[in-house]
Amino acid sequence: MEFSHYAPLWGEALLTILAVLVVLLGSLMKNSGKLMGYLSAAGLVAALALVASNLTIKPTLFFFDTISVDALSQFFKVVFLVVSLLVVIASMSKYTGKGADEYFALLLFATVGMMVVSSSVDIITLFVGFELASLSTYALAAFDRSKKNLEAAMKYFIFGSVASAFMLFGFSLLYGMAGSTHLVDIAAASLANFGPATLVALLFVIVGFGFKMALVPFHMWAPDTYEGAPPLVSALLAAGSKKMGFVAAFRVILIALVALRMEWYMAFAILAAVTMTLGNLAACWQNNVRRILAYSSIAQAGYIAIAFVVVGAAYGAAPVNVLNMGPIRADQLGIAGALLLILGHALMKTGAFIGTALVASNVSKESETDPDDISNYAGLAKRAPITAFCMLIFMFALAGIPPTAGYIGKFVLFSSAIYSGLVWLAVLAILNSALSLVYYLRIISYMYLKEAAGPKIKEQKGYVVALILTLLAVVWIGVFPEAFINWAMQAAAVLLPQ
């Protein structure tokens, strides 16, 4: 076996080595925080280049068929790497001193874990990747060691562990039924001996992933954790580790448990409808900006979950002329829409949380009140014009106003719902989008219409660079969506039988 045979996995290998290196160097050198930041950023860029060189690779299996590198895994890897890179760039302004090496190493390990999950076609590998990412983020959530951090991390850890337990129990049932840990074998077995055990396994798997994806009613941890964790870590949680829940759920539920689609179809229809509605309603009543973003993130998870409903409703349906892509399948379109939404949302949420991080890091010095309170955003346009402008665009993008990254995923996803006969779900989702504007507008009106709550604040370089990069990406995807739609369609095809 040649070294170059593993070329599609060099990205993961590079980041793993780098993470170990960062820890080692950090313990040997003093005041190396800045260097570690640059090292991590460079490593992430290199990994991104490696992944990008195999962007639409044909499915290739590694390590006894447990790891698959395909268009879907590459799509998610790009999302994870971009999010981590943005977070690292922003973190370079905050974590410069002691402990920075640990911070960046944990961040890299979390990224590797997410990348492993996106490639896993075996439940054990998937679980290992899942835990690698989760354990790293548990530690990150408590990284600043404030009281709030600890509470957030504790909640996140307990809920996360329970979710893992549910997931693992579901997996063990699947293994017992199929006698194999490969997703394709489980798919065959669940088709052949469909029974109560499979149903129970499905239930446990949905609950386990539901926690990670923050679907209502498994969402309780998300607002508390996103509010309490260091803001840059919240960005990683909302934009990265949550999306990991989706890729895992896509693989396990759409491939391994496709025989039960009539069962999970109903479950996800209810989960999606309830999640988006409750998420948006709850966000309207929050006064903490990070909690608003957390609930908006929950609502977005509700939209993304529509993809499961579409696949359940239209699985294996004949290709029809929908949109202008020639004959395509509604289920493929649904997954593509979800992927576009995931890509867009990851960017917008990273940007928004980096914005809150900048505000919090400056405001916490001034006052004793909650740094994320919306009153601290009063007159932000005067105090921090670049941040306020970027946040403004992110808010409009999150609300789905074209031409930004927000609308394109919603458009494709809601279209697929209409084509598969789920008009009620599409209409509900569109109405929910309208509702969401209420709380986004509230943040905007604080930033732009209120009198400034304090003097001009210093916008640190790292934050500003990360914000502007995110802004460019969000606008770029919105203005030139064609290439992204095609890419997402290719990635979606991986999950469906040809």
Partner 1 sequence: MISNAISLLIAIPLLGAVLSFYAGTKAKFVALIASLIPLALSLQMYLEFDKTSKIMQFVESYNWVPSLGVKYTVGIDGIGFPLVLLSTIVSVLVIIYSWGETKKPNQYFALLLLNEVGVLGVFTSLDFFLFYIFWEIVLIPMFFLIGSWGGPRKDYAAVKFFIYTHVASLVMLLAIFALYFTYQMPDGSRTFDMLTLLAATADKTIFPTSMLNIIFASLLLGFLVKMPAFPFHTWLPDAHVEAPTAGSVVLAALLLKMGGYGLFRVILPMLPHVDKAFVTIIAIIAVISIVYGAFMALAQKDIKKLVAYSSVSHMGFVTLGAVAFTWMSVTGAMFQQFSHGIITCVLFMSAGTIQHVVGTRVIADLGGLADRMPKFAVIMMAGFMASLGLPGMSGFVAEFMVLTGSFATLPVYTMIVVFLSVVTTAAYHLWAMQKAMFGPILKKYMNVHEPHAYELFSMAMIIVLSLIFGLQPGLITDIMGTAATQVMEPVMTLTQMGVI
Q: Provide the binding-site residues for partner 1, judged by CB under 8 A.
A: 321-325, 396, 401-403, 408, 411-412, 415, 418-419, 427, 430-431, 433-434, 437-438, 441, 445, 448-450, 481-482, 485-486
Nearest CA among 459, 254, 238, 242 for reference residue 349 = 238
CA distance linking residue 86 with residue 69, whole number of Å: 24
State the nearest-atom distance from the C-beta of 145 to partner 1, in Å: 39
By residue count, the chain amounts to: 498
Secondary structure of 311-356 as H, E, C letters: HHHHCCCCCEECCCCCEECHHHHHHHHHHHHHHHHHHHHHHHHHHH
SS3 assignment, position 226: helix
Reported as type and span, the H/E element at residue 459 is none
Cα–Cα distance measured from residue 167 to residue 383, given in angstroms and rounded to the nearest whole number:
46
Closest to partner 1 by CB, 291 vs 382, is 382
End-to-end Cα separation, the chain, in angstroms: 30
Helices 261-284 & 423-449 angle (0-180, nearest 10): 20
Closest CB to partner 1 among residues 167, 330: 330
Closest CA to 273 of 426, 91, 121: 426
- 149 and 119 Cβ atoms separated by less than 8 Å: no
> Of 53 and 486, which CB lies nearer to partner 1 in the complex structure?
486
Q: Which two tokens stand for residue 400?
A: 């789905």
Q: How far is the CB of 203 from partner 1 (least distance, A)?
A: 35
**Mapping DSSP to helix (H, G, I), strand (E, B) and coil, where does residue 101 land?**
helix
The amino acid occupying position 40 is S
Nearest to 302 by CA among 394, 416, 409, 214: 214
CB of 135 to partner 1, least distance (A): 41
Q: How far is the CB of 423 from partner 1 (least distance, A)?
A: 9
Q: In angstroms, give the least distance from the CB of 482 to partner 1.
A: 6
**Least CB distance to partner 1 at residue 103 (A):** 37
Candidates 156, 254, 243, 151; CA nearest to 205 is: 254
Give Cα separations from 360 to 49, 366, 385, 392, 393 (angstroms): 33, 10, 15, 17, 19
Residue 112 beta carbon to partner 1: minimum distance, rounded to whole angstroms = 34
* Shortest distance (Å) from residue 326 CB to partner 1: 9
Q: How far is the CB of 481 from partner 1 (least distance, A)?
A: 5
Locate 272 and state its tokens: 């999606």
Q: Which amino acid is at 58?
A: K
Nearest CA-CA partner of 141 in 101, 97, 110, 98:
110
Closest by CA to 88, choosing from 133, 132, 38, 51, is 38
Q: Please, are residues 307 and 422 in contact by the beta-carbon 8 Å criterion?
A: no
Q: Is the separation of the CB atoms in 260 and 203 below 8 Å? A: no
Nearer to partner 1, 317 or 401 (CB): 401
Shortest Å, Cβ 356 to partner 1: 22
Cα of 460 vs its chain's centroid, Å: 26
d(CA 125, CA 130): 8
Shortest Cβ 330–partner 1 spacing (Å): 12
Q: Which is nearer to partner 1, 169 or 448 (CB)?
A: 448
67 phi, psi to nearest 5 deg: -120, 130
Minimal distance in Å, beta carbon 298 to partner 1? Answer: 21
Considering beta carbons, is residue 248 or 477 the nearer one to partner 1? 477
The minimum distance between CB 436 and partner 1, in angstroms, equals 11
Contact 252, 209 (CB under 8 A): yes
Is the Cβ of residue 139 or residue 430 nearer to partner 1 in the bound state?
A: 430
Q: Which is nearer to partner 1, 356 or 420 (CB)?
A: 420
Is the CB of 100 or the CB of 388 nearer to partner 1? Answer: 388
